[in-house]
Amino acid sequence: EGVARLFSAEGEPLGVGYLEPKARAALRLYRFDLGPLDSAFFQGRIEAAARRRAGLGPHHRLIHAEADGFPGLVVDRFDRVLLVQVRTRGAWALKDRWLPALRSATGASAALLVPTEYARRAGLELKPRALWGEVPEHLVVEEDGIVFEIPLALAQTKGFYLDQRENRRLFEAEVRPGEAVLDVYSHVGGFALRAARKGARALAVDRDLAALGVLDRAAQKLGVRVDVRSGDAPAVLAALVAEGRRFHRIVLDPPALAKSPRDLPRAKRLFAELLGHAFRLLEPGGRVWVSSCSYYVKEADLLEAARRAGADARTRFRVVRITHQPEDHPWVAQVPETLYLKTLVLEPYPLAP
């Protein structure tokens, strides 16, 4: 295990990477020549990533792993604070080379190491800790005038979903005053708060009380009301159906449901269940926004789940829009796994008698 050079069968140099013989991807390339993997190299990569994100504001994903030429490293920037995910043994082994470069290139005052399941699967027993500087007790995130104060304990586990930023903007643009909006798996309420700001009656559903607390404080600062329900999403949706509730717009944004191919059947069943409830809760002419942040759940899988749900609810639907992750979460054709976020906007209409 360690830094390795790759050559073709003919002896042509192909690149330099980190070899992990027991990993699913045994060799992850950092560069496609035989140059060194030193601090100067990593600083150049970081500066290039920052230039590509110029104009995106102070809160964005700075490094998106392989899509930015950094296998195993993800960095989210929240103004002067960085949240750093190390997902592979190679990225951790090289930290003494890229960490000083990250600090120098960004000028960030603090950086927090955020352990992930990816790291655990790679055999890395990492604990949350400051990589440098003094990390504040709350991560303050401002998005289009909405301020979220996220406790550090929540930031270390779920953070803030930067990848839904453009979808939240699109969603807010189509909400109308007086509509009823349901935000399921709301986390800190990014969709619900925007709907309330437009004059809609918003209900947020999540099982994480800390996240709902962030939502409540953000609503108070914004001067709007968002109702909340804590609980398991399918059970809450079933209860809303039983209560006869109706909504004009429903957001279904669950966490990653398929972290490996074997999880896909269960994920598709859950999406079908969620969509079935959603179709029954919609007002005529309403829309469902359903997202998957799992690479293994493809657009075709979401559509299949929606067709199953539609059949059970005797409902057809139009696909109004399909979106993917924003530009600070780039995806490259040569690395299919870098495309992970898919969102379908569905507009059901009843079948004729």
Question: Catalytic residues, which ones?
Answer: 293
CA nearest 202: which of 214, 211, 194? 194
Pairing mode, if any, of strands 315-324 and 129-132? unpaired
The C-alpha atoms of residue 42 and residue 50 are separated, in whole angstroms, by 12
Query: Are the beta carbons of 292 and 257 closer than 8 angstroms?
Result: yes
Least Cα distance to 195 among 249, 253, 255, 252 occurs for 249
